[in-house]
Amino acid sequence: MQYFIPKRVYYEPQSLDYDLGRELIDRFNKMGIEINSTASHNRVTGIPGKTAAQAYRESKKTLVIGVRRDSPFQTCKPSAHYQLPLVTGCSGMCEYCYLSTNMGKKPYIRIYVNIDEILQTAQQLIQARSPEITVFEGSAVSDPIIVERYSKSLEKTIEFFSKEELGRFRFVTKFTDIDSLLALNHNNHSTIRFSINCQSIIKKYEHGTPTLAERLEAAGKILQAGYPLGFLIAPIIFFPGWEEEYESMVKDLAQSINSHRGNVDEKITLELISHRYTKRAKFNIMDIFPESELPMDEDKRKFKYGQFGYGKYVYPSDIMDLFKEKFQVYIEKYLPESETKYFV
């Protein structure tokens, strides 16, 4: 298993007012990692790279320690009611990544050290919606697992939600460094999901991420630890042979679940998302990955507006109908006990 080790670290001076901020600086100092201060975690300068591709790769090795300001949590449809901003960014270099829309060409990774304040805001939102259950998404703009060994943010959040009768937490990851979460008292209030794809898509587009088999093995540990478990099948891409490859993926998923399930009766949830992109994302992707073969031909797509007001290019209705038809067959055949939350 490969762990994320930053090449350089920046920190906001205010982050040193928090125990976690001081602990992180001390830890990275002992690791001999280059450390610099920055006035704001939103404006970090000094990341090297003469080209967009070089700057992108260097930003993926850059960690920023900051304080999350007191601003409203974003909504997070259809996954949850609100985003829970624990971390921003990801060390993976997936060509299609939706962060290319809102993080640009230097998507460095941020840890927010004021976790207690963030959870206090979540508690206020839970109380405001009482007696309804409020669901929070911890990976809307990140993969929080990559820095969990440093931040312990997920550990603290899972323990917080275990005590919240009307609060639920969920996050999704492609990474496998999850052992620190296995013994926590989660009280079934935190759902851990794994983002998966067929192996050819992982190999071609999901650079720097674990294989499908490695993700399924980590998911098996989460299942055995009693967590509610889900899978995000995304992005579903139309390519020659997609039917056979995605059926094989669903079959592998089912075999892995059955081999780890034991006496666990918890229903597995599925979320399915077809590939989509914005014009801004396409511009950034082609600048960062000039040789990319990611299918982004507007003539073969349909334009629609998303929940945040910007437009995106999605597959036309005939392809979406075919996706839904085929995946329904695969799921009914191999995962009949699962629950599909949505297919978009």
Q: What pLDDT, in 10s, does the model give residues 37-72?
A: 999 988 898 899 999 899 999 999 999 999 998 778
Please report the pLDDT score of residue 3 as a whole number.
87
CA–CA dist 59, 6 (Å, integer): 10
Low-confidence ranges of the chain (pLDDT < 70): 1, 100-105, 263-265, 306-309
Residue 13: predicted pLDDT:
97
DSSP-derived letter for residue 61 is T
Please, what is the end-to-end C-alpha distance for the chain in angstroms?
Answer: 32
Amino acid 151: pLDDT: 97
Residues 6+ apart with CB under 8 A from 72: none
100-118 residue pLDDT tens: 666 666 789 999 999 999 9
At residue 177, what is the residue type? D
DSSP-based three-state secondary structure for 239: coil
Tell me the domains of the chain and their CATH numbers. 8-343 (3.80.30.30)
Q: What is the pLDDT of residue 310?
A: 75
Q: What is the pLDDT of residue 308?
A: 60
